[in-house]
């Protein structure tokens, strides 16, 4: 809108009637619409997606806190009474230091850790083994091994008689960057240099497992990554309706950064209308929302490992 002084100036210069427009009315502004980028074409084949998915299924339960626990225990064997200076509390141990020992070990950063074995839980009547560590630290041992701990790692094992059945429950949550080149890393995900942000839980009743998977990890199968999303899966022996595939969607990322979603037909057992005919071990693959075809994965290894994850 023109201000009063602007209108007066226009009248003085034109000598015309101020009620008469002196310029054309501007066009109504049009909304600026950005065209959606072309998603392009998938760069991975269904066979490559299936191979990566199978690799993720086969090793997901091996990605747990147990190797981090073993690595940390070995890395701390060279510590002295004051390097690093460690505070012991009823809730665990804590150190925050930057120091070198006379024998050549070096500690830098901070770590809080705690763990116990065979703790009896009065509420459930079960026993618990657990270990937990959180921090940001590097350690160089006397033997020249290097530990990097940047994040958190926790594992729980609960076991005992539950409602007349033998129960073993395993829980692991690992997130961050972890590196260790000592002997404890051999054959574990630490040796592979994987980057996890993964939570899973397995309940085993009388030898029959059921599990929950969430989060993911990267760096396997020559650069692939996987993302689980509250997926549930388990044996028919404890009432799970489909032991050939997980519930929900699992995403895999190719080394070039392209993501592919595989939507499975498995169930967590809560759907009364679940169709057993859909339980065939295969899911529908999508790229940018567009269907690509079917991808299948064998769950035998996953079920077998679930009985004793560590």
Give the tens place of pLDDT for each residue, 137-165.
999 999 999 999 999 999 999 999 988 88
Which pLDDT band holds residue 15 (cuts at 50, 70, 90)? very low
Planar angle of CA 66, 71, 72, nearest 5 degrees: 100
Which pLDDT band holds residue 204 (cuts at 50, 70, 90)? very high
> Does the pLDDT value for residue 89 go beyond 90?
no
Q: For the chain, what is the largest distance between any 2 Cα atoms, rounded to a whole number of angstroms? A: 102
**Which token pair is 69?**
């626990």
The mean predicted confidence, pLDDT, of the chain is 90
288 neighbors 256 (Cβ within 8 angstroms): no
What is the arithmetic mean of pLDDT over 53-82?
Answer: 97
The confidence score (pLDDT) of residue 26 equals 58
| Residue found by looking up tokens 């026993």 in the block | 127
The confidence score (pLDDT) of residue 52 equals 98
What is the arithmetic mean of pLDDT over 282-289?
Answer: 97
State percent of the chain over pLDDT 70: 87
Kindly report the number of other CB atoms within 10 A of residue 164's CB atom. Answer: 6
Using only the alpha carbons of the chain, give its radius of gyration.
Answer: 29
What is the arithmetic mean of pLDDT over 153-182?
Answer: 96
User: Coil, strand or helix: which one is 214?
Assistant: strand
18-32, 148-162, 218-232, 293-307 — which is least confidently predicted?
18-32
What is the arithmetic mean of pLDDT over 106-129?
Answer: 96
Alpha-carbon distance of 1 to 135, in angstroms, equals: 60
Bridge partners, residue 171, by sequence: 156, 201
Question: 240-279 burial, b for 16+ CB within 10 Å, e for fewer?
Answer: bbbbbbbbbbbbbbbeeebebbbebbbbbbeeeebeeeeb
> Closest Cα partner for 153 from 140, 172, 125, 181?
172
State percent of the chain over pLDDT 90: 78
Which pLDDT band holds residue 232 (cuts at 50, 70, 90)? very high
For residue range 16-50, list pLDDT tens digits in order.
Answer: 444 444 555 556 666 666 565 666 899 999 999 99
> Does the pLDDT value for residue 3 go beyond 70?
no
The confidence score (pLDDT) of residue 33 equals 63
The model's pTM: 0.85
> Closest Cα partner for 210 from 307, 129, 127, 300?
307
Q: Pick the residue with more confidence: 168 or 39?
A: 168
The confidence score (pLDDT) of residue 37 equals 61
């Amino acid at each position: 809108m023109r201000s009063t002084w602007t209108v007066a100036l226009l009248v003085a210069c034109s000598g015309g009637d101020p009620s008469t427009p002196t310029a054309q009315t501007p066009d109504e502004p049009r909304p600026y619409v950005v065209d959606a980028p072309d998603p392009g074409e998938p760069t991975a084949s269904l066979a490559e997606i299936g191979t990566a998915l199978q690799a993720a299924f086969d090793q997901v339960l091996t990605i747990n806190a147990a190797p981090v626990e073993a690595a940390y225990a070995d890395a701390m064997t060279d510590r002295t009474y004051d390097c690093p200076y460690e505070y012991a509390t009823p809730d665990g141990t804590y150190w925050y230091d930057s120091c070198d020992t006379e024998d050549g070990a070096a500690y830098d950063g901070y770590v809080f850790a705690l763990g116990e074995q065979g703790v009896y839980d009065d509420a459930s009547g079960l026993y618990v083994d657990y270990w937990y560590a959180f921090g940001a630290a590097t350690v160089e041992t006397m033997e020249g091994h290097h530990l990097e701990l940047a994040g958190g790692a926790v594992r729980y094992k609960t076991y005992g008689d539950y409602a007349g059945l033998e129960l073993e429950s395993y829980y692991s949550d690992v997130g961050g960057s972890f590196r260790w080149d000592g002997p404890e890393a051999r054959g574990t995900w630490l040796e592979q240099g994987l980057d996890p942000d993964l939570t899973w839980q397995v309940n085993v009743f009388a030898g029959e497992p059921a599990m929950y998977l969430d989060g993911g990890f990267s760096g396997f199968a020559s650069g692939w990554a996987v993302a689980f999303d509250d997926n549930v899966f388990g044996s028919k022996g404890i009432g799970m309706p489909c032991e050939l595939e997980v519930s929900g969607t699992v995403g895999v990322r190719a080394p070039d950064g392209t993501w592919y979603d595989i939507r499975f037909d498995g169930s967590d057992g809560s759907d009364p209308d679940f169709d057993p005919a859909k339980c065939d071990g295969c899911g529908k693959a999508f790229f940018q929302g567009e269907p690509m075809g079917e991808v299948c994965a064998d769950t035998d290894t996953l079920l077998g490992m679930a009985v004793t994850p560590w």
